[in-house]
Amino acid sequence: MVFASPLFLSIYMPILCICYACAPLRLRNAVLLLACVVFYGAGAGEFFFLLVGLTLLTVILGRFAYQNRLVSAGAIVVNLAPLVYYKYSTFLGHIVLDIQGVAYDPLAKGLLPLGISFYTFHAISYIVDVYTGRISADKHGFRYGLYLFLFPHLIAGPIVRYREIERQFADSARAIRVASVSSGMQIFLIGLSKKLLIGDHAAGIADRVFTQTVPLTSATAWIGVFAYTMQIYFDFSGYSDMAIGLAKMFGFRFPRNFRRPYSAQSLTDFWRRWHISLSRWLRDYVYIPLGGNRRGTARTYLNLWLIFFVCGLWHGANYTFVVWGIGHGMLMVIERLGWWRPRAWWGQLATFGWVMLMWVPFRADSMSIAIDVWSAMAGMGQGIADWHTLTLLDPRSLCILMFAGLVTMMPQHWFVGIQGWFHRHQTVRAGGIALLAVLSLMQLISQGFTPFIYANF
C-alpha cells in the first residue's frame, strides 16, 4: 500500500481518520499503532514478522544499552544482519564472481523487505542515542513500536530520530487541531501533485531512454537524464511532503527533508538541501564517530569520502550506486581542498550539471548502460538527434519539464517572493491546492501511478 494508490486514498486513509478522531484521547496511540501495523503488513507480506521480531529484540536490548558497549554493539549487529543478508549478499556474491571471471546475470536481485534500509537506520539511531544517554530506553516497548511502525516515515523516510518525536507520543500533546489537520492536508496534497503530475510524467520519458527503447542520440540522452533529474526530485520530495503532511494531521512534527536542492550553488550546499534527514544521520552516526574533522586534514577527507561511499551502498547493492557515491564524495573532497569553488549563478549551473551526470549511474541498471548514456551525452552515441526526440518531447512533456526546471532552479528570492504572495492570498492558495488535488485524482484514475523510487531502498 502506498500513499498515491486508490486503496490508500479512498479506503485506508478515510477509515483511519474517522477511527482516530472518534477514539478517546488515551486510545489514539493504540489506534494509530494498529493502523500502522495493518499498513505495513499489507505491503510487506511475510517480512512483516521480520520487522516485529527486530522491534521486540531492539526493545529488549535497548533496556540494557545505556553505557553498555557490548549490548549496544549486539543490538546494532542484530538490526544490520537482515539488511546485509537481504540487500548485500547477492552483490557480494557478484563481486566474488567478478574476481573469478565467472559470468552471471548482473540484474539478478533477491526479494527485499519493504523499507528495510529506513527502519534499520531508525533502529540504529535509537540504540546509539540510548547508549550515549541522549534518550531513555522505552522499557515497555509501546512507544518504540509506534515510532518504528509509524507509517508516514516507515517505507521511505524521512529518517526521524526517536528523540525528535519522543515528547509527541504523549496523547495530550497531539490533541486534534483544525489548523494542524488543514495544514497537514495541504502539505499532503502538494506532495501528491508533485508525485502524480510531474514525477510520474517525467518517469515515462526517463524510462524510455534508460531502457533504450529509443535510440541513444545526444538529444534523447540529455532529455532522458534531465527528465530523471526532475523525476527523482518530485517523486521523493513529493513522498516526503506527503509523509510530513500525514504526520502533522496526527499531531507529529517531522523534520524537513528537502530545501530546494537544485538551487544549490555548490555540492556541499546541495547535500545540505537534499535528503536532509539522511545527510544528518550519516554525519552524526558515521562521520563524527569516525573522527569527523578532528583528526587532521587527511583523515577528514578520508572520512568525508567514506560517508559518501556508505551513502552509495545504502541506496543499493550495485556498482552503479558505488560509483554514484564515490563521484559525489570525490567532488566534495575537491571542494573542501579549495580546488573548486563554485559560487553565484555559474556555481548553481555547474553543481546542477554534476548532479545530473551522477544521476546517470543512480538510475541505470548497470554500469554498461550508464556508460552508454554518458557516451551519448558526450556526442558519441547514435548521432545528435532523430525523430524519436520529438516523440519524447511532445508539447505537454515539454511544458511539464520546463515548469519543473523553472520551479526547482529559479533564484531563491524569486521563490520566496512567490511563496509569500500565496501565503498572503489564502483564498488563491486554497483554490490552487484544490485544483492540484482534482488534477492529481484525474491523473490517478486515468493512468494510475508508479511506485515511489525510494520505496525500493
CA distance 189 to 7: 16
CA distance 94 to 117: 21
The closest of 51, 116, 91 to 455, measured between CA atoms, is 116
DSSP state of 331: H
The helix-helix angle for 28-44 and 142-149 (nearest 10°) equals: 50
The closest of 48, 124, 46, 116 to 82, measured between CA atoms, is 116
Contacts of 133 (CB under 8 A, 6+ apart): 66, 67
CA distance 258 to 277: 9
- Hey, what's the cell of 450? 508508479
Amino acid at 148: L
CA distance 247 to 305: 34
CA–CA distances in Å: residue 253 to residues 10, 18, 155, 163, 168: 24, 21, 17, 12, 8
The verdict on whether 413 is a catalytic residue reads no
CA distance 150 to 248: 12
CA atoms within 13 A on the CB side of 247: 25
Question: Which is the catalytic residue, given 122, 275, 315, 388?
Answer: 315
- Hey, what's the cell of 313? 551502498
CA distance 56 to 342: 48
Q: Are 22 and 15 in contact (CB under 8 A)?
A: no
Q: Angle at CA 126, nearest 5°, toward 70 and 453?
A: 120
CA distance 215 to 232: 23
CA distance 165 to 122: 12
The closest of 50, 53, 62, 67 to 124, measured between CA atoms, is 62
What positions carry a catalytic annotation?
Answer: 315
